[in-house]
């Protein structure tokens, strides 16, 4: 008997739900806008011209496909599975964030919007948004937590060079979640001309879906590249998770390949036993924030607690709703890495491969360093190296007790 297995790639449902997660929890003022966005996205998906323009910009502006690199020296050092790095840090602007920004600004142009806003944590999404806004000639305002501005000075300067206005957010924990609150406040105030480019696979439907779709270029390429290099699918995919856009981008095209295991790596900061971490799956409960139901770090009263990670890009108390669902059904295994483990992995990649990774994928690498030695030499691991570390050298120097200039 042939029993058809339902695809794990079909979500979300018509109301934007992935199982018990997702949805559209926004103020009524924004509802007509996100319904408009949904209609515009459905129309864009059906338009070959939209895909052609996206693909053209991916190739000639972003520099895709990004290489699938066999990390021979790292593999030898760890002694176990063969490790491949998906080199999304080589993209224009230095991270995977640009994939999504290209897709969203093309949507904004289709919808006739004339002003762009975005939130940013590490600044990578802010830089990518400022980049596409400059390329398409739209004014751009980036909201960034005041604390993140302090620890990501190079990216703040990049955004300004690109013509964006960077607004410091002083409320709450002064990090990514507060920047997102402030971007939502801007959007609700400027509903007629403004397009909000959300940086991760979270927020109200259809954002988690469209961000995933734009980022799935990573997994689609990776699938073809590993088949080309090894003649078979990988055994394990590994990616870091803040909101989870680089991870869902890598994982999604493989979700129906039962032989491919997947590990998402949350940031456990000073450790899961402390209250200083950003692991919303390991340490959170279901709740509603920023337009979606997902796993959130919160106290027993439902007040959102502050996340901590050495990586500003992972310093968020929630996670994209599709990850919350993949966690609930057990398709993806979620682990975590501490600040210290990420710092070790950061230095390991510098020294073994001559690649300075961002602190975000350094968390993924910490998990690879744990897992790879336990696997046989013929096993294949693909890790998403989703960002480069130039922006993090001040943070790393600080953590290593080195004074620059």
Partner 1 sequence: MSDRLATRFAACAADGRAALVTFVTAGDPDLTTSAAILRALVANGADIVELGMPFTDPMADGAAIQLGNIRSLTSGTRLRDLLAMVADFRREDDATPVILMGYFNPILAYGLARFAADARAAGLDGTIVVDLPPEEAAELVPDLTAHGLHLIRLATPTTDAARLPRVLDGASGFLYYVAVAGVTGANAATATDVADAVARLKRSTDLPIAVGFGVRTPDQAAAIAVTADAVVVGSAIVDTIGAAAAERANDIPARVGTLVAGLATAVRAARKQEIAA
Q: Does 42 bind partner 1 (CB under 8 A)?
A: no
Smallest CA-to-CA distance from 216 within 203, 202, 229, 201 is with 201
What distance in Å separates the CA atoms of residue 214 and residue 102, rounded to the nearest whole number? Answer: 8
Of 228, 300, 378, 403, the residue at the interface with partner 1 (CB under 8 A) is: 300
Q: Does 403 bind partner 1 (CB under 8 A)?
A: no
Of 189, 231, 273, 401, the residue at the interface with partner 1 (CB under 8 A) is: 189
Of 11, 12, 23, 126, the residue at the interface with partner 1 (CB under 8 A) is: 23
Q: Does 227 bind partner 1 (CB under 8 A)?
A: no
Of 172, 257, 350, 352, the residue at the interface with partner 1 (CB under 8 A) is: 172
Residue 307 DSSP symbol: P
Q: Does 274 bind partner 1 (CB under 8 A)?
A: no
Nearest-approach distance from CB 155 to partner 1, in angstroms? 24
Q: What is the 3-state secondary structure (H, E, C) of 228-269?
A: HHHCCCCCEEEEECCCCHHHHHHHHHHCCCCCCEEEEEEECC
Does residue 95 contact residue 199 with C-beta atoms inside 8 Å? no
Of 9, 13, 29, 258, the residue at the interface with partner 1 (CB under 8 A) is: 29
Of 87, 185, 270, 331, the residue at the interface with partner 1 (CB under 8 A) is: 185
Stretch that binds partner 1, among 29-37, 230-238, 253-261, 349-357 (CB under 8 A): 29-37
Nearest-approach distance from CB 188 to partner 1, in angstroms? 6
Of 24, 174, 323, 363, the residue at the interface with partner 1 (CB under 8 A) is: 24
Q: Does 259 bind partner 1 (CB under 8 A)?
A: no
Q: Does 15 bind partner 1 (CB under 8 A)?
A: yes
Q: Does 304 bind partner 1 (CB under 8 A)?
A: yes
Smallest CA-to-CA distance from 251 within 341, 343, 320 is with 320
Of 5, 7, 273, 303, the residue at the interface with partner 1 (CB under 8 A) is: 303
Q: Does 31 bind partner 1 (CB under 8 A)?
A: yes
What distance in Å separates the CA atoms of residue 270 and residue 120, rounded to the nearest whole number? Answer: 23
Query: What CA dihedral angle connects 234, 238, 244 and 248, to 10 degrees?
Result: 0
- Bridge pairing between strands 68-70 and 82-86: antiparallel
Count of beta carbons in the 10 Å neighbourhood of residue 107: 21
- By beta-carbon proximity to partner 1, the closer residue of 168 and 188 is 188
Q: How far is CA 72 from the centre of its chain?
A: 26
Nearest-approach distance from CB 57 to partner 1, in angstroms? 31
Of 177, 252, 277, 323, the residue at the interface with partner 1 (CB under 8 A) is: 177
- By beta-carbon proximity to partner 1, the closer residue of 2 and 15 is 15
Q: Does residue 55 sit in helix, strand or coil?
A: helix
Assign residue 330 a region (left: φ > 0; alpha: ψ between -120 and 50; beta: otherwise). Answer: left
Q: Does residue 37 sit in helix, strand or coil?
A: helix
Residues of the shown chain interacting with partner 1 in the complex, contacts defined by CB under 8 A: 15, 23-33, 35, 171-172, 177-178, 180-181, 184-185, 188-192, 285-291, 296, 298, 300-304
């Amino acid at each position: 008997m042939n029993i058809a297995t339902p695809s794990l790639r079909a979500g979300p449902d018509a109301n934007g739900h992935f199982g018990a997660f997702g949805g559209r929890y926004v103020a009524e003022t924004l509802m007509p806008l996100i319904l408009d966005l949904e209609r515009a996205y459905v129309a864009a998906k059906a338009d070959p011209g939209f895909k052609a323009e996206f693909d053209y910009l991916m190739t000639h502006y972003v520099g895709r496909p990004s290489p699938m690199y066999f990390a021979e020296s790292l593999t030898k050092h760890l002694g176990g599975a063969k490790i491949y790095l998906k080199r999304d840090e080589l993209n224009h602007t230095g991270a995977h964030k640009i994939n999504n920004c290209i897709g969203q600004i093309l949507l904004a142009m289709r919808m006739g919007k004339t002003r762009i806003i975005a939130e940013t944590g590490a600044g990578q999404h802010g830089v990518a948004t400022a980049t596409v806004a400059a390329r398409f000639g739209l004014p751009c305002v980036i909201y960034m937590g005041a604390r993140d501005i302090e620890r990501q000075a190079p990216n703040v300067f990049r955004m300004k060079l690109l013509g964006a206005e960077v607004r410091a957010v002083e409320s709450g924990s002064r990090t990514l979640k507060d920047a997102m609150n402030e971007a939502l406040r801007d959007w609700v105030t400027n509903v007629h001309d403004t397009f909000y480019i959300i940086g991760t696979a979270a927020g109200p439907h259809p954002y988690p879906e469209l961000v995933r779709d734009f980022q799935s270029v990573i997994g689609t390429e990776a699938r073809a590249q590993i088949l080309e290099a090894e003649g078979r699918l990988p055994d394990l995919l590994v990616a870091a998770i803040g909101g989870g856009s680089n991870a869902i981008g890598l994982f999604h095209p493989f979700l129906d390949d039962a032989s491919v295991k997947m590990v998402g790596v949350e940031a456990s900061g000073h450790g899961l036993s402390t209250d200083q971490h950003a692991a919303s799956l390991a340490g959170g409960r279901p709740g509603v924030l920023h337009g979606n139901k997902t796993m959130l770090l919160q106290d027993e009263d439902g007040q959102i607690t502050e996340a901590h990670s050495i990586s500003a890009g992972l310093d968020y108390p929630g996670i994209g709703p599709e990850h919350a669902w993949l966690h609930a059904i057990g398709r993806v295994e979620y682990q975590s890495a501490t600040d210290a483990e990420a710092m070790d992995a950061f230095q390991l990649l510098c020294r073994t491969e001559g690649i300075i990774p961002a602190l975000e994928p350094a968390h993924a690498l910490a998990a690879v360093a744990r897992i790879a030695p336990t696997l046989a030499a013929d096993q294949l691991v693909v890790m998403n190296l989703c960002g480069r570390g130039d922006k993090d050298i001040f943070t790393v120097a600080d953590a290593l007790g080195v004074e620059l200039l």
